[in-house]
Structure 1
Amino acid sequence: MAKNFLTYEQQLHILEYDKQLAIPNHEYATKKLEELSYYSLIGGYKSLFKHAPSNKYIHGVTFDELVSFYYFDEELRTLFLKYILHVERHIKSMFSYHFCEKYGEQQSMYLNINNYNHTRKNHRELLRLTHSLQKVIATPSKYAYIEHSVNTYHNVPLWVATNALTFGQISKMYQYATTDIRTKISKNFQNVSEKQLHQFINIIANAVMYVLMESVYFHSE
């Protein structure tokens, strides 16, 4: 069922009288709805503060508390991403270095499933991975450096391609890389075994995907 357009005043009226959300300052609340939007602020956090059976806010919850929670969540996600990106750059750099050290700089090397730990069980996964890598370096590309490398050298070395790869793709490349490459990479991280690094990379890749999806959801309206 389509939602009807509501003015800010109507939105606040519903929150205050129908949903029983305390709104101490209507002028402040209106400004926050203008800045953040109803669905980013109210839609994103309503389940945390509502009494499920009645679908009304828990007694005493205020509009200001929702705003504070929104900004806290936003800062936490920003901080989380900041440090994850440091790890991501390090992993990308180490992987491209050690992979190219073993197989060379030709793109055909990282697009070849036989240069990974290829088994009958992971054959389809590796085909999907290399297909996704091929799409990243295909032209036309939104990345000028990919276009330049293809047009000038007819080749996109891994150290160039990694800038356009997602951390999820790099984590899959690491997952299926041969043991000697994974071991060399893990030695760059003090007091971390190859097995532990493998687990960390999977966790970080999933965390990046979750945080980015949350960011898109909360800021899409």
Structure 2
Amino acid sequence: MIVSDPLQHEILEHAIQCKTYVAKFHGRADVLDKLEKYIKNEKENRPCIVYGASGCGKTSVLAKTATELSSNDTEHLLVTVPPFEVSTVEIVYNDWLAMKKRSLSDEQRLFIRDLMEERNEILPLYMKLVFDIILTWHSYDSINIELKKLRNVDDCIRYLFNHLEKVHNRLLFIRAICYMTSCRNCISQNELEDVLSLDDEVLESVFQHYIPPVRRLPGILWTRIRNDLDEYITEKEADDSSVIYWYD
């Protein structure tokens, strides 16, 4: 009999999330140095506060710190995580594009540089969302003027969701996101497919030209949505089951 160990699950989840955050980490050398010095100061027993605006990369900084520790002993009890510089954004984007084996035209690169220079501050979350929008481009695509309206994280999320509504069945996408978000204690993928399969409006939109022998949502439809949202959805254990939820 396999006994579920909640602590072991928690440790594993943290390790997986840590690896995910660190994989695309760039810069922040000054912040990392402060945190590492604090951790290695054995005489310090006061808490260290890591603070910054929502989406500035606090979790990523802590994940990186957990994997790379230095050996200096200096007090650093208040550590600010500042926004990115425009020059840093370009370096990060070049690396991410190489990882995705993608490239941009000179016009697209110039547009991105101008877009970032117009920002008073560049949060890593904003930068990541803009990058995901970039991945929907072709090198021969002209610049969509609507992209200049992406002023903040909320604007980017709306733009991405509008794009995904067009890629997937619009009603299916909206209902799937709403059901997943409305569950207080998260939801398993099987449960989400069950709920969607009980939604007559969703099924009617999916089976417009075909009447299946069993009225149930094909699992592949949610899988496609999940794949497109993969970097914004994570899994955790709840009641010995794997459930999905948004990244905090």
Q: TM-score, normalised on structure 1?
A: 0.33
Greater RCO between the two (CA within 8 Å, min separation 6)? 1
Q: TM-score, normalised on structure 2?
A: 0.31
Greater fraction helix: 1
